[in-house]
Structure 1
């Protein structure tokens, strides 16, 4: 369903349904200087309504998927699209947007990560009460949904690493992970669940694994930690292309192959050093303040 035709249908509906009336009512009450949409459908819907009503307000879209923006959100009337990767710029241009519309932007890190002290692995582990050994951070996201298959493979192959599971976990999920860890003496299992200091947990790990959520992925890269994606969502489909080009992570669906890849990484210092170098050389900027300045400069240029 992610096609230009669906984008056309959505734009046509937007200017004919109650969304049109409701948005214009909100606009008259608020009178914003510009509008920034962080959802691809919001950008398409709002730009369609605003341009048809001849509203003199810039409509910006931040491509939250960082490597692409769904075709279902295509709208030629968007004034600016901001995306943090060169691969993303290439993909937006191939959809039909112009160079005047697309801007390569910094990735807007959350303040808790941008402003925190960059501790060493040992320092971060000490702060969090973790052991100072090879550590896998398993990120199950805000939904706390994920498989135990990778942990089972670690146990089967007697890889007694330290595993930290974060995300909005239920008590039953926590108990399931701890029950598994008891099968392998020496495996250290921690299940803090949802945490407000996720940056410290990223600094404490050697590698992070989970689904391809853009925020978790980009934050991990900003802190110099490789990412293993075990569930590739449609919106993040170009992550694999990025990983193949820059060698800073893996997209692997099969738990056994995930285990084999992580084992090779854990046992090869040369490979670890190479990925560490690649992470430092990434052509990415991570800075919320610079992102804000870019927005304001674009507003000013359109006003001029």
Structure 2
């Protein structure tokens, strides 16, 4: 059995969703490989898309959000009216142009299953299926919403974060029997739990109340302000800070003069351990990060969502009692204070997270893929 994963470098989550499943497949001796779809077809195009995503989400997030919302709104209205072709569609322009080189690879590799972790890859595979591609196809929706353009795809199955998204899928014309609500795939290390004191010892930090502050792989958001607000709290606690690939942000935080102890890091690969060591996390609501938090059962304080899909993640989490969100009038220090001083509030969040969290999402998807070979 051969499994091919296709992704697109636009943010960190699409690649990570694939890697978690690939690790599990390899442990079971199932042959698999991953392609960055646009990187394989045209490296210049891939770099342009990656840089464009970084610039639009980090430096012009309002513009990115405007286009996301416009596509989402038009798609909804088109679905309601059932007329015309989506004018925001990329498929008519790109699918036939981009699929030719990929066709040769597919013929050589001959995969039994193709897993797409980005909607653009799914669009290309949909185009090739229409030309006779013979493989079972799975699309992974990497947020707590269906992004625009998924309704243009024709996957055999769609992996989603929760069955709570089933109605949204039906509204987009995706049959419910194609939905696999097993959770966004995450690394299996997030399915394990360590005692807080043991986790702090493993990290080499003091054994006391700890607040984890994360900003995603790009270091997006008002992280410094959040840390300064937490530092002003009249509470005995310490801060773990993760800046991702944003070296400038790490340097800025390193230079802060704080009353509380802070442990500040750049890119790390032990976020699972940091979550175990912490009382709660202050984070932007990316789909993978949220899934990891839900699996670990660490209460989330959401800050600085990127307009677009992360706004939709916020809506899902707040409307289902899974997180707290800061705002211009409800600051991080208030959120931390209310969580740490109210056991009942913490318990409500944790109970809801137990219902929606999918700690075994990767292995569940691997089990499903294995079942296709019988």
**Partner of residue 38, structure 1:** 117
**Alignment counterpart, residue 103 of structure 1, candidates 174, 177, 180:** 180
Q: State the distance in 2 between where 1:253 and 1:273 align.
A: 23
**Partner of residue 129, structure 1:** 204
**Alignment counterpart, residue 194 of structure 2, candidates 119, 128, 144:** 119
- 1:80-229 maps to which residues of 2 (within 5 A)? 80-114=157-191, 116=192, 118-147=193-222, 148-159=224-235, 161-169=237-245, 172-180=248-256, 182-184=257-259, 187-229=260-302
TM-score w.r.t. length of structure 1: 0.85
Q: State the distance in 1 between where 2:368 and 2:200 align.
A: 36
Count of aligned pairs between the two proteins: 292
**Partner of residue 138, structure 2:** 60
**Partner of residue 241, structure 1:** 315
Q: Work out whether residues 190 and 359 of structure 2, in 8 Å CA contact, stay in contact via their aligned partners in 1.
A: no
Cα deviation, residue 205, structure 1: 0.6
| Farther-moved stretch of structure 1 (88-97 vs 34-43) | 88-97
CA 1:150–1:255: 2 relative to 1, 3 Å: farther
Per-residue CA deviation, residues 136-176 of structure 1 (Å, 9 max, x unaligned), is 11112222333211122223444553111113255553342
Q: State the distance in 2 between where 1:23 and 1:50 align.
A: 12
**Partner of residue 14, structure 1:** 94
**Alignment counterpart, residue 360 of structure 2, candidates 278, 286, 291:** 286
Q: 3-state DSSP class of the match of 1:143?
A: coil
Name stretches of at least 5 consecutive residues in structure 2 with no aligned partner. 1-66, 76-84
Q: State the distance in 2 between where 1:214 and 1:16 align.
A: 30
Q: 3-state DSSP class of the match of 2:177?
A: coil
Cα deviation, residue 239, structure 1: 2.4
Deviating runs (4+, > 6 A) in structure 1? Answer: none
Cα deviation, residue 62, structure 1: 0.8
Name stretches of at least 5 consecutive residues in structure 1 with no aligned partner. none
Q: State the distance in 1 between where 2:290 and 2:129 align.
A: 33
Per-residue CA deviation, residues 1-27 of structure 1 (Å, 9 max, x unaligned), is 42445587322223432x131122222
